[in-house]
């Protein structure tokens, strides 16, 4: 008789040296978010908002969310098991819905075991967050926004797809024009005459910032790091669906010595560009 032993892993991430989010998981390898907890850190730092009601009432607090993951990475049986206030609960759930989890065909499911993600809210730490990032409220390039947090694939949006935004001083014609102009080919890759592509998936949020950045296909000698640097430099005009700004899942190939594919037509690294 085989006995399976599951260890409860616990992670803590400090958001901008301030707000904290914890994950208790039965399997780090299978159940960590897309891009690991570092991706969660970036998402929360960029997208969180401290409810004004809790600021006025001088409320710090905690929200704990338990859930299980399907093989497709979709949280199910989601339940708030601890919440200091209704408004903090609402904000924690809004952020939680933005977190992506990877597909795992062999993900072990145990009916009685749950993942738990805990969000700590501190007004003192919140000041550090918005001071560091440079804004309190989330500004949306297009309103209204879809508040359901549903994610659409790039190809689903037809004419209202996301597009890269540049300042008036930046005379870039397109996303790929920007990538080509800003790329710093790694010296090690040049020395090795290394050629290939880095394939990266990410979500363009309603705010135009990106989240859930994940390397689908890496390339050595510093190329992966350079591709991530370039992708993280860009702000977008969000995709739209039925007149509302929506979250859009995208995948892009950054070529090093080979052609780049700015937008794959589907979420498939072997597919053709759109």
pLDDT in tens, 109-167: 677 789 999 999 999 999 999 999 999 999 999 999 999 999 999 988 987 999 999 88
Q: What is the pTM of this model?
A: 0.86
pLDDT tens for the chain, residues 1 to 274? 333 333 344 444 544 444 788 899 888 778 899 998 889 999 999 999 999 999 999 999 999 999 999 888 999 999 999 999 999 999 999 999 999 999 887 776 677 789 999 999 999 999 999 999 999 999 999 999 999 999 999 988 987 999 999 887 878 888 888 999 999 999 999 999 999 999 999 999 999 999 999 999 999 999 999 999 999 999 999 999 999 999 999 999 999 999 888 886 544 433 333 3
Vertex 52 angle, CA 50 and 58, to 5°: 85
Q: Which CATH class is domain 151-256?
A: alpha beta
The residues of the chain that CATH labels 3.30.2420.10 are 9-133, 151-256
What pLDDT score does 7 carry?
A: 37
CATH of domain 9-133: 3.30.2420.10
């Amino acid at each position: 008789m085989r006995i399976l032993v599951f260890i409860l892993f616990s992670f803590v991430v400090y958001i901008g040296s301030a707000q904290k989010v914890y994950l208790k998981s039965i399997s780090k390898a299978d159940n960590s978010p897309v891009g690991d907890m570092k991706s969660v850190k970036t998402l929360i730092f960029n997208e969180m908002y401290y409810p004004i009601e809790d600021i006025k009432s001088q409320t710090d607090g905690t929200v704990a969310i338990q859930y299980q993951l399907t093989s497709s990475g979709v949280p199910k049986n989601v339940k708030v098991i601890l919440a200091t206030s209704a408004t903090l609960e609402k904000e924690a759930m809004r952020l939680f819905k933005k977190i992506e989890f990877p597909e795992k065909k062999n993900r072990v499911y145990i009916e009685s075991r749950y993942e738990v993600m805990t969000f700590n809210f501190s007004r003192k730490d919140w000041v550090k967050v918005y001071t560091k990032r440079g804004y309190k409220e989330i500004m949306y390039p297009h309103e209204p926004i879809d508040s359901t947090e549903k994610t659409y694939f790039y190809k689903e949006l037809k004419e209202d797809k996301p597009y890269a935004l540049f300042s008036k001083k930046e005379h870039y014609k397109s996303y790929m024009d920007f990538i080509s102009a800003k790329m710093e080919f790694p010296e090690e890759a040049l020395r090795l005459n290394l050629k290939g592509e880095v394939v990266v998936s990410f979500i363009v949020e309603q705010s135009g910032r990106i989240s859930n950045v994940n390397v689908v296909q890496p390339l050595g000698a510093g190329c992966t790091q350079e591709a991530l640097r370039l992708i993280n430099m860009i702000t977008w005009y969000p995709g739209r669906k039925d007149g509302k700004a929506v979250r859009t899942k995208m995948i892009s190939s950054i070529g090093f010595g080979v052609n780049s594919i700015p937008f794959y037509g589907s979420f498939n690294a072997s597919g053709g560009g759109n």
